[in-house]
Amino acid sequence: MNYVARFFNHPEINLITTTVLIFASLYIAIISLLGHDFLTPLHAIPPGAPSENKTVKSTFIIFLLLFGGLFAAKSSNALRLPPLFGCLALGIVIRNVDVLKDFFIIPPFTETMIRKVALAMIVIRWGLATDVKFLYENAVTPVTIGLVTAIGEIIAITIASFLILDISFVMAVFCALILVIVSPAVTVPAMISFKERGLGSSKRIPENVLAVCCVDNLFCVIVFMVLSSIIFTDAPIATTILMNAGSILLGCIGGIIIGLLLWRFPRPDTTHTQFARITLLGTSCIGLMIGTYLVKYSCAGFLAALITSSMCAMKWKTDNKDKLDCVVSTYKYVWDSFALPLLFICLGLKFDFSTLSWKIVLLCISVICIGLIVRALLVMLTTHFSHFNVKEKAVIALSLLPRATFQADLAPTLVVMATPFPDKLPDAELVMKAAILSVLITAPIFDILLNLIGSKFLYHVLPQEDVALENNEVPTENGSKLFAADNLFSDDTKIASL
């Protein structure tokens, strides 16, 4: 084994192997994006894919949407709103203006691939931001908060949507699974900002919230994917459950194997290490996410991509002088400049005012509000005997209320899966409307509230001798002082989307 490790660690052998892996991962990612067969890619045209004469028009439309989305995101950010809000609003405007609606038509297959690539970017950034060591050493609090509050909100929204929206029980469960997922697009940047400013550092509030989001997202997404593979199929339930269990196991094993490969290829001391790592991680995760989606086992790809990203973060932040900075900043740029605008524009394009009424809007909002209230109460309850004070509990509760990122992918995915089932399609479309409304309502409101209240309620520890006493200081047990943040919108506190 040592001989094999030394052999592949040789600079030339490592470079050749890394190059082969890059081309292989690029091939898998491109073939997955096109939906073609891996062995005969030039002869297989996937159902629903745009024909050659529509490819140029689709590309031009996507370019225009991307340009408009960037402008909308910057405008929204200037108004102290999340960038995703502007992109979602732009998509809604395009969908409800006849001239624009007739021009900006994206083929269904292309739209699905856009959403899956964006989801892959979310998973990569999520994995890179996950502190596996902290989650392992402090699992009790985040796992308890994440699972108890998520399950409680799922039960509340399932009952509420079944009774208020008058949809089937199965679709009510899907509605709950979609609406309860905490948005990393709002919560994670706020926690990173708090962490950089030292807010809540004495009790590691940012780390705990990020771990809770990880548990919440992982639980809800896996349950959604497994349940959808059971409901939207004609295969026996026992067989489907067994296949899903096997796919989850294979996804975990595959993620570990790919993560170990990326630990060794490329070497951390080569000239183009960061470029090779960024390329390999991105193409591997895109290939995993889309490839498993096309074969109807999305859960395996989701887990594999998340585990791969998390493992890469564990190794890469310690084996070179640049740590993870280059990789993280690159994927942040890709998300902000490409994935976020297209993802939320595509979601907005699903929101047709002609199919809405005030009654539907109010009913959906009532279901959303019930879930938010239940989640907040459960957070306060589960943290009652913890070491957090009331203000810190309020910040934790607020951090779990924004909805945005996964709703933009899972809601349209539910509609696509329900399309072959006429009895389920109307309910799925209503669920998607509720998901869009949840993004429009919760993302801007709780983004502002979280940053405002977090800056006022959280404190950071500073040595007593280094800081002059101020009016808002609070003494701690060890004699140091805790200071509240004074300015919400300081230059170093940009509200950015994940």
**Domain spans of the chain?**
2-39+111-324+360-448
Query: 50: buried, middle or exposed (CB in 10 Å: 19+, 13-18, 0-12)?
Result: middle
Higher pLDDT, residue 290 or 463 = 290
Q: What digits encode the pLDDT tens for the residues 237-250?
A: 888 888 889 999 99
Higher pLDDT, residue 271 or 305 = 305
pLDDT in the model for residue 11: 81
- Average the pLDDT over each of 112-121, 304-313, 451-460 and give the range with the smallest value: 451-460
| Side-by-side strand order, sheet with 474-475 | 459-462, 481-484, 474-475
Residue 442's pLDDT band (cuts 50, 70, 90): very high
- What integer is the mean pLDDT of 262-286? 92
Rg of the Cα atoms in the chain: 23
Q: What digits encode the pLDDT tens for the residues 352-369?
A: 998 889 999 999 999 999
Distance in angstroms (rounded) separating the CA atoms of residues 285 and 121: 8
The answer, yes or no, to whether residue 126 has pLDDT greater than 90, is no
The answer, yes or no, to whether residue 135 has pLDDT greater than 90, is no
Pick the CATH number of 2-39+111-324+360-448 from 1.20.1530, 3.40.1350, 1.10.10, 1.20.120: 1.20.1530
Cα–Cα distance list, 354 to 96, 350, 428, 472 (Å)? 8, 11, 17, 52
- What integer is the mean pLDDT of 293-318? 91
pLDDT in the model for residue 58: 80
Distance from first CA to last CA of the chain, Å, rounded?
40
Q: Which of 476, 448, 443 is nearest to 462 (CA)?
A: 476
- What integer is the mean pLDDT of 183-210? 87
The answer, yes or no, to whether residue 401 has pLDDT greater than 50, is yes
The answer, yes or no, to whether residue 387 has pLDDT greater than 90, is no
pTM: 0.83
pLDDT in the model for residue 367: 97
Distance in angstroms (rounded) separating the CA atoms of residues 309 and 329: 14
The answer, yes or no, to whether residue 100 has pLDDT greater than 70, is yes
Cα atoms in the Cβ-side hemisphere of radius 13 Å centred on 33: 16
The answer, yes or no, to whether residue 18 has pLDDT greater than 90, is no
- Two structure tokens written together for 346: 């595509």
pLDDT in the model for residue 473: 46
The answer, yes or no, to whether residue 478 has pLDDT greater than 80, is no
Q: Are 383 and 63 in contact (CB under 8 A)?
A: no
The answer, yes or no, to whether residue 490 has pLDDT greater than 50, is no
Overall residue count recorded for the chain in this entry: 498
Q: Are 280 and 336 in contact (CB under 8 A)?
A: no
pLDDT in the model for residue 492: 40
pLDDT in the model for residue 312: 95
- What integer is the mean pLDDT of 330-339? 93
The answer, yes or no, to whether residue 219 has pLDDT greater than 90, is yes
Helices (H), 265-321: 273-294, 298-316
Residue 482, H or E segment = strand 481-484
- What integer is the mean pLDDT of 458-476? 47
* Chain mean pLDDT for the chain: 85
pLDDT over 70 percentage in the chain:
87
- Sign of the CA dihedral with 95 first, then 100, 101, and 104 last: negative
Higher pLDDT, residue 42 or 420 = 420
Residue 46's pLDDT band (cuts 50, 70, 90): low
The answer, yes or no, to whether residue 102 has pLDDT greater than 60, is yes
Q: Which of 166, 200, 249 is nearest to 434 (CA)?
A: 166
The answer, yes or no, to whether residue 469 has pLDDT greater than 70, is no
